[in-house]
Amino acid sequence: MVGGAKKPYREGAGSLYVVAMPIGNPGDISIRALEVLREVDLIACEDTRRTGAMLAAHQIKKPLISHFEHNEERRVPELIDRMMRGERIALVTDAGTPAISDPGYRLVRAAHEAGIRVTAVPGASAAIAALSISGIATNRFTFEGFLPPRDSARRKALEVLRSESRTMIFYEAARRLGDTLSEMAQLFGNDRGAAVVREITKTYEETIRGTLGDFAQRFQREQALGEIVIIIEGAAEKDASISSLALSVEDLIEAGLSLKQASALIAKLTGASRRDVYQEALKHRRETE
């Protein structure tokens, strides 16, 4: 809002509750979440059958309305209108926290803009749960969600992250895990530390620690199963800096300079070693060819 002013809640409007669901173990639903689901007028969910079964297990009977990726745009105005008329609506997804790599943020944004109170009912999140048991630094991290499924787009997204010094969290489909880890090993380095967390909170939960090179070889040979979270160590500060400069070299090459000229110019402007910049740029070019 302009000037940071807080928009007042609209008188007579209902509320939107963003309610986290279990990601595997049904016991992970909170007491507060169950209380909210019992009290609201309507529950907006991805799959009405799945949510209906969960509610039945807790003796809760409420009207359900579908709200998923492909109907979200047309569903939001309807839900906002109902809340403007005083209804209390809970937003849930099939698993985890709504709007985190799931539908929801458009409805949340629209509710704020309409002056409707939005309340979090926190709970399970696969990204945070996996990070907490990965054994990889947790003080600074970035959540990248799902990478693009197409090879060229996925590689481009990973290239941008080559110099990321924070721990990185990714979701990935089991069928693409081997290819994704191979590309990560090529761009981030075979020796980069990582963890693959599979089926978190479920019966066959597994946390595997190692290097990207090891994981690339393993999951090209064997088919992974279940829901996957990948946790990767951030680049060392020096490596991050040089890697970032290598991308700047590529920009200069596109502008017409040779690799040698571009490396020398970047080194002169930044004070970095010309040899280090040149070698990293050369490595980057080999990996992307």
Neighbours of 3 (CB within 10 A): 4
Q: Are 93 and 50 in contact (CB under 8 A)?
A: no
Neighbours of 174 (CB within 10 A): 15
Beta partners for residue 209, in sequence order: 195
Q: Are 137 and 167 in contact (CB under 8 A)?
A: yes
Model-level pTM greater than 0.85? Answer: no
Place of tokens 């016991």: 27
Instruction: Label residue 205 exposed, middle or buried (CB < 10 Å: 0-12, 13-18, 19+).
Output: middle
Q: Are 234 and 240 in contact (CB under 8 A)?
A: yes
- State pLDDT tens for residues 200-216: 999 999 999 999 999 99
Please tell me the CATH code under which domain 12-124 is placed: 3.40.1010.10
Beta partners for residue 169, in sequence order: 143, 231
Instruction: Note down pLDDT in tens along the chain; length 289 residues.
Output: 334 445 678 777 899 999 999 999 999 999 999 999 999 999 999 999 999 999 999 999 999 999 998 898 899 999 999 999 999 999 999 999 999 988 899 999 999 999 999 999 999 999 999 999 999 999 999 999 999 988 889 998 998 898 888 999 999 999 999 999 999 999 898 999 999 999 999 999 999 999 999 999 999 999 999 999 999 999 886 555 555 555 566 676 777 778 788 777 766 665 566 777 777 777 766 666 5
- Give the architecture (CATH level 2) of 127-232: 2-Layer Sandwich (3.30)
- The C-alpha atoms of residue 117 and residue 222 are separated, in whole angstroms, by 48
Tokens of 93: 């997804």
- The C-alpha atoms of residue 212 and residue 247 are separated, in whole angstroms, by 22
Provide the sign of the torsion angle of the four alpha carbons 92, 168, 166, 208, taken in this order: positive
